Structure 1
Amino acid sequence: MEEILKNAQKYCTRVLMGSRCKSLPFHNVEHTMEVFSNVKKIGSYGYLNNDELKPVLLAALFHDTGNATVFKGHENFSVIKATDFLNGQNYPVEKLKMVTDCIKATRMPQEPKNYLEEIICDADLFHLGTKFFTAKNKLIRQEWEKFLEVRYTDEAWYALNITFLEQHRYHTKYGKDLLEPIKQKNLNQLKQKYTQVYLKRSTNPF
């Protein structure tokens, strides 16, 4: 790994581990490093070399550091942290914009404007198309309940996620080829769970 990536990884790890992010069930160091790894997988599938991937790899490391400060709109704070750090590393201005644009692209709803932004968007929501979706989704629910004080009934939670997965689209060829088929399976499982909960409530309203 190149020096700037090593330095950025150390810095972002310190930010995440030195803040409330160390207690977050989902948006923590593990998620950041998974997104970093996912960028490599998707980029390699698209035949990008390490130099071409560097801006989006840096963006992956920084994209959730803003969660150390705030949940809603955290991408703006992530951009500030990335800008301050990379300016200190004398990172080229034109490349810095690529990094910050990639961070901004992770904001929901995702609207990537180029291939690098498509890569980080798919890397960030990689878990939707994996066998780990259920476990990851449980962590997100725990995070919302504990830190945002947002609670859903099982029926409402399944309905929310069904809508999210139905509206979501992978952008890269990797996402479409490898993740989308598994995402559809996960979506079908959510629908089955929703039906079970709905029928149970309908037959036993009390």
Structure 2
Amino acid sequence: MSDIVNKAEQYISVLLTENLDEKYLFHNLGHTKSIVSKSIELLEANKNKEVNDQQVLLAAWFLYSGFSLDYKEPMENSCELARKFLTENEYENEVIDKVCQLIRSAWTKDEPLNEEEKVIKDARLSFYASKDFEELLVLLHMELQNFEKSIPTIEEWRKRYIEILRTEHHFYTDYAKEKWQKKKVSNELDLIGSAAKALKTKKKEKLKAKLKDKSPGRAIQSLYRIQLRNHLKLSDIADTKANILLSVNAIIISLLMANLIPKLGVPNNSYLIYPTVIFVMFSIASMIMSVLATRPKIENKDVVEGEIKKKNTNFLFFGNFHTMEPQDFKNKIRDIIKDTETIYDSLTMDLYYLGKVLQKKYRLLSWTYTVFIVGVVLSVLAFAIALKYYGMDDEILDAVTPLPK
């Protein structure tokens, strides 16, 4: 590679690195190097022809340099930068004009006039045969979004390039026709497939949105899901509260049996019998009610086939169908899932009876806490009265009783 080409490489590398920001996703230094690489590949394949390698490589390096000045006039800006650079390096105007002509030829759709123009045209559009063609096309579209106010949609963009690949573009050099044409056709087919897939997805989304607007199915499902989940949480909370009360009363009774009850046989402690009995009885009552609040109900003798047919019961509850034969159960499920209305009716009954169970459970739990509170208050009062009116005499008796010698 000649010295002037090396200088051009250094100049362009610095120019594009310093003047192109992250908005330039396609026309950047990386893509410029790719064009130069493809130009070298084509020049190697065209050694037997009269091609000025130096002019082609200079045009390739300066091809996208104009973007460093302005996004809207890259071709003329690239020519001006190439002219200024070559003039400073004391190149003749004739050579400079040829380099500028190659830059213009690469940008335009005119037919090439010589081998150099064939090479630079094929090198610039070599990405049509790239394995990353669709990704590069998306990057080019995104770059346009960064600079243009009105741009085609990605679907229109794909259609435009399908038309370009199919009818407008063709390679000029023999090497490109032999090595790149097949991949270009493959990219065209892939792009058609992507466009068809995107169109199908868009139609599906439109249909889904249309159906969603017309049908409240999702909202209804969300309603049932949220309400059933909330009721189940409330049931868990009730069971937890009952278990807490059950555990507290069990601890109280254990402590009474271990510490207080054995001492009631002593005559001096007889005044504690009634408070202790009150405390124990209320604790036992609280424990029984807590167990009743959490006791599961499996058998449901009230459910009969007639009520199931009338949809007056919650068939989805296992306690209502566990005695049925498998075939009868399957037939009933088939009847439920025949239409949406029947499914919603079943879910409604499930929610209704779950609420009925919660109502019974919370009502019993409320009474359980009331019994426990009343028992604690009465027991404390009983202990206080017993200590005040009956326990004092025993204490005085113990005080005046002489100690044994």
Contact residue 2 and residue 54 of structure 2 kept, 8 A: no
Q: In structure 2, what is the equivalent of residue 75 of structure 1?
A: 75
| Stretch of structure 1 that moved more, 159-168 or 49-58 | 49-58
| Stretch of structure 1 that moved more, 184-193 or 69-78 | 69-78
In structure 2, distance between residues paired with 1:165 and 1:98:
29
**Aligned residue identity for 1:178:** K
Partner of 2:52: helix, strand, or coil?
helix
Instruction: Map 1:119-198; keep pairs closer than 5 Å.
Output: 119-166=119-166, 167-198=168-199
In structure 1, distance between residues paired with 2:48 and 2:88:
27
When the two structures are superposed, what TM-score results if normalisation uses the length of structure 1?
0.90
- The offset of 1:70, in angstroms, is 1.9
User: How many residues in Structure 1 have an aligned counterpart in Structure 2?
Assistant: 206
When the two structures are superposed, what TM-score results if normalisation uses the length of structure 2?
0.48
Could you give the per-residue CA deviations for residues 153-174 of structure 1, whole angstroms, max 9, x where no partner exists? 3421221211121211111112
**Aligned residue identity for 2:72:** K
In structure 1, distance between residues paired with 2:178 and 2:162:
21
- Runs of 5+ consecutive residues of structure 2 not aligned to the other structure: 210-405
CA 1:118–1:13: 2 relative to 1, 3 Å: same
- Runs of 5+ consecutive residues of structure 1 not aligned to the other structure: none
**Aligned residue identity for 1:93:** N
In structure 2, distance between residues paired with 1:100 and 1:19:
21
CA 1:3–1:62: 2 relative to 1, 3 Å: same
CA 1:117–1:46: 2 relative to 1, 3 Å: same
Could you give the per-residue CA deviations for residues 56-103 of structure 1, whole angstroms, max 9, x where no partner exists? 100111111111122233111111110111011112332222211110
| Stretch of structure 1 that moved more, 118-127 or 43-52 | 43-52
Contact residue 134 and residue 191 of structure 2 kept, 8 A: no
Task: Between the two structures, name the one with larger relative contact order (CA 8 Å, sep ≥ 6).
Answer: 1
Contact residue 51 and residue 116 of structure 2 kept, 8 A: no
In structure 1, distance between residues paired with 2:180 and 2:22:
28
Instruction: Map 1:39-118; keep pairs closer than 5 Å.
Output: 39-47=39-47, 52-118=52-118
Contact residue 22 and residue 28 of structure 1 kept, 8 A: no
**Aligned residue identity for 2:60:** A
**Aligned residue identity for 2:61:** L
In structure 2, distance between residues paired with 1:140 and 1:3:
33
- The offset of 1:182, in angstroms, is 0.4
Q: In structure 1, what is the equivalent of residue 320 of structure 2?
A: none
- The offset of 1:34, in angstroms, is 1.1
In terms of Rg, which structure is larger?
Answer: 2
Contact residue 162 and residue 190 of structure 1 kept, 8 A: yes
Q: In structure 1, what is the equivalent of residue 383 of structure 2?
A: none
- The offset of 1:130, in angstroms, is 1.9
Contact residue 8 and residue 61 of structure 1 kept, 8 A: yes
In structure 1, distance between residues paired with 2:58 and 2:157:
33
| Stretch of structure 1 that moved more, 121-130 or 46-55 | 46-55
Partner of 2:107: helix, strand, or coil?
coil
In structure 1, distance between residues paired with 2:116 and 2:154:
36
Partner of 2:180: helix, strand, or coil?
helix
CA 1:120–1:22: 2 relative to 1, 3 Å: farther
- The offset of 1:147, in angstroms, is 2.4
**Aligned residue identity for 2:186:** K
Contact residue 162 and residue 191 of structure 2 kept, 8 A: yes
Contact residue 21 and residue 27 of structure 1 kept, 8 A: no
- The offset of 1:201, in angstroms, is 3.5
CA 1:162–1:170: 2 relative to 1, 3 Å: same
Q: In structure 2, what is the equivalent of residue 5 of structure 1?
A: 5
RMSD: 2.1
- The offset of 1:48, in angstroms, is 5.6
Contact residue 155 and residue 194 of structure 1 kept, 8 A: yes
**Aligned residue identity for 1:54:** Q
Contact residue 21 and residue 67 of structure 1 kept, 8 A: no
Could you give the per-residue CA deviations for residues 38-70 of structure 1, whole angstroms, max 9, x where no partner exists? 111011111169982000100111111111122
Instruction: Map 1:24-43; keep pairs closer than 5 Å.
Output: 24-43=24-43
In structure 1, distance between residues paired with 2:26 and 2:19:
14
CA 1:92–1:49: 2 relative to 1, 3 Å: farther
In structure 2, distance between residues paired with 1:28 and 1:145:
16
Contact residue 64 and residue 74 of structure 2 kept, 8 A: yes
Partner of 1:18: helix, strand, or coil?
helix
